[in-house]
A and B are shown apart, each in its own frame.
Chain A
Amino acid sequence: MGADIRIVGSGGYVVHLDICEELSMECVGRAHRLYYAALRELSGLVDEVVLGVTSLALYYDPRRVRASELVTSIKRVWSWAREADLKELHRPRRFTVPVVYGDEYGPDLSSVAKWAGLSEKEVVRIHSSRVYTCITLGFTPGFIYLGEVDPRIAAPRLETPRVRIPRGSVGIAGRMTGVYGLESPGGWRLIGRTPLTMFDPRRSPPIPIAPGDEVLFKPVEPEEFSRLSGVFVGEYSP
């Protein structure tokens, strides 16, 4: 098992797990198994479980449990979770996200097309023709990391990040695509923007999309943007 995942303690209250070193959906699936199994089995021992792209962090109270003991429990959970059927740990929901591509909504669509050697229309078709898995959420509230992007349009992130990206912007960074839940700085190439409200801090939960859920992008015309503006992602039906 040691050669399998890397487990390391940090700071006296974090156990960090690296599932693998490089992004692959196979690795993400393993991380999701461990994430949902840990939520189910270890909630009495840990305060919070947070998922990275290929890693997890378990936050614990050292007055209640020590890292050495927690690691033993993690290994026990992993021994069955690694073979478990992910759908039994988390039944994925599917969300459709309407997107206006290009122009002011996606200022980097042209650079992605240029990088890919394809037309903008072709990039849009490729981007919106597969069902993505939510890898995790993070860095800013409601940002969803999705995978895996077709290698033909997997343009790298920008050399210089933007200081301000409007909420709802849809970006590409290599084999991942994502949606900015709130206005934030960021370095992903922006190819479009959804009019939906992806993150609403006053709702519970503020965003209904969870790791392992499916997201499908649906190209819509700019005229649709104002009509759909402010519709909550959990309440949109295509």
Chain B
Amino acid sequence: MSIAPRLQVVYVAGLATVQDLGRRGYRILGVPISGALDRLSAAYANALVGNPSSYAVVEVFGSVKLRPTVDAVVAVTGGYPRVFVGDVEVAPWTPFYCGAGSEVSVVPTGRGYAHYVAVSGGVLCEEVMGSVSTYVRGGFGCLGRALRPGDELGVRPVRADDLWEGVRNARPPWEVVARSADPGDPVVLRVTEGIHSHLLGDLSTLLTSEYTVTPESDRMGYRLDGPALAAASRLGRLPSTPTDRGYVQVPPDGKPIVLMADAQTTGGYAVALHVVQPDTDILAQLRPGRRVRFRLVSLEEAEELTSKYLAELENPALAVAEEEYWT
């Protein structure tokens, strides 16, 4: 007789939800894509424990303590948090073996913001419209709400011992870690012009100023503070257009909002810029107070960046560890 493996939620401070790479094909019904805010970190967390990129992981802003009820391989990515198995500190971005009943703790350090915990076999919970990603506002996907102490999630049964030999020396390329753990300040976000740039005219305020991530940022959007784009106030509200992750909306107050994974599917504010997909992941890692700049790239360049990003999401490129990274 075997008991289905579980992942128990022991402690949460902040926001912890189950996410995969998102819900596709339902935006025409108003359903946001959801999924990990930093998709590349989620994909690498999975790869490090031998899972396909699309498996569900736990996303945490803040601290979390999780306990697998079976032996498991676990990896924590996204930023550079401190990670413990019981009392023993282990490195993020590195797979580690977690015996049944041991507690995995993730503690933020100020480097990065959105952390991802992957467990070998992946988290199993209710799939809605092809994804287990939790959309808290809609109350659906997985538990339909943020994780709380006492919650128990399913885990696909896998043989952790066999798996461990295959992944124990796996490491992501350093650029991937540095991307979310230690981006310079201000962080440069590459953008194309947005769908309403022709109505806004001169975008030089946005393209030459520094903006600060504000505390009013969440999974729907990161609100930035800095010089206002004056043209936005005269435009007001437009007929609602489809919107997406990375769209830089400018409401009448002129302060940009970068839409994130849980954003509304249509919106009536002018869209000035569009942050390229890999850089939306990087923005996700910037906690309130961090500063950004926008740098314009061509559409062709954006297509190249998106192509490379999508390929990496599908097949995260792991290397074999030669020496330990800095911690």
Contact = CB atoms under 8 A, between A and B. Distances in A.
A104 B29 CA distance: 27
A52 interface: yes
Nearest to A207: B29
Interface string B27-54: 1111110000000000000000000000
B310 A201 contact: no
B317 interface: no
A8 to B, nearest CB: 6
Interface string B221-253: 000000000000000000111101011000000
Interface string B265-300: 111000100111100000000000000000000011
B138 A48 contact: no
B266 A48 contact: no
B25 interface: yes
B128 A52 contact: no
A137 B264 CA distance: 11
A181 B30 contact: yes
B192 A136 contact: no
B311 A63 contact: yes
Interface stretch (B56-64, B86-94, B150-158, B301-309): B301-309
B187 interface: no
A12 B27 contact: no
Interface string A39-54: 0000000011111111
A184 interface: yes
A103 B244 CA distance: 37
Contacts of B138: 140-141, 182, 201
B195 interface: yes
B71 interface: no
Contact of B193 (A10, A21, A145): A10
Contacts of A87: none
B207 interface: no
Interface residues of A, number: 48
A201 B241 contact: no
A137 B28 contact: yes
Interface string B192-204: 1111001000000
Contacts of B135: 141
Contacts, number: 153
A205 B195 contact: no
Contacts of B274: 10-11, 14
Interface in A1-37: 8-14, 16, 18, 21-23
- Most chain-B CB neighbours within 10 Å: which of A49, A67, A201? A201
Contacts of B307: 12, 61-63
Nearest to B239: A53
A143 interface: yes
Interface in A139-166: 139-143, 145
Contact of A139 (B267, B301, B305, B310): B267
Contacts of B247: 10-11
B128 A67 contact: no
A53 to B, nearest CB: 4
Interface string A202-222: 100111000100000000000
B246 A11 contact: yes
B251 to A, nearest CB: 12
Contacts of B264: 138-140
Given A139-B267, A206-B31, A12 B25 contact: no
A199 B275 CA distance: 31
Contacts of B14: none
Interface of A: 8-14, 16, 18, 21-23, 47-57, 59, 61-63, 66-67, 136-143, 145, 181-182, 184, 199, 201-202, 205-207, 211
Given A11-B247, A201-B128, 5 more contacts: A8-B195, A16-B242, A48-B24, A54-B239, A139-B265
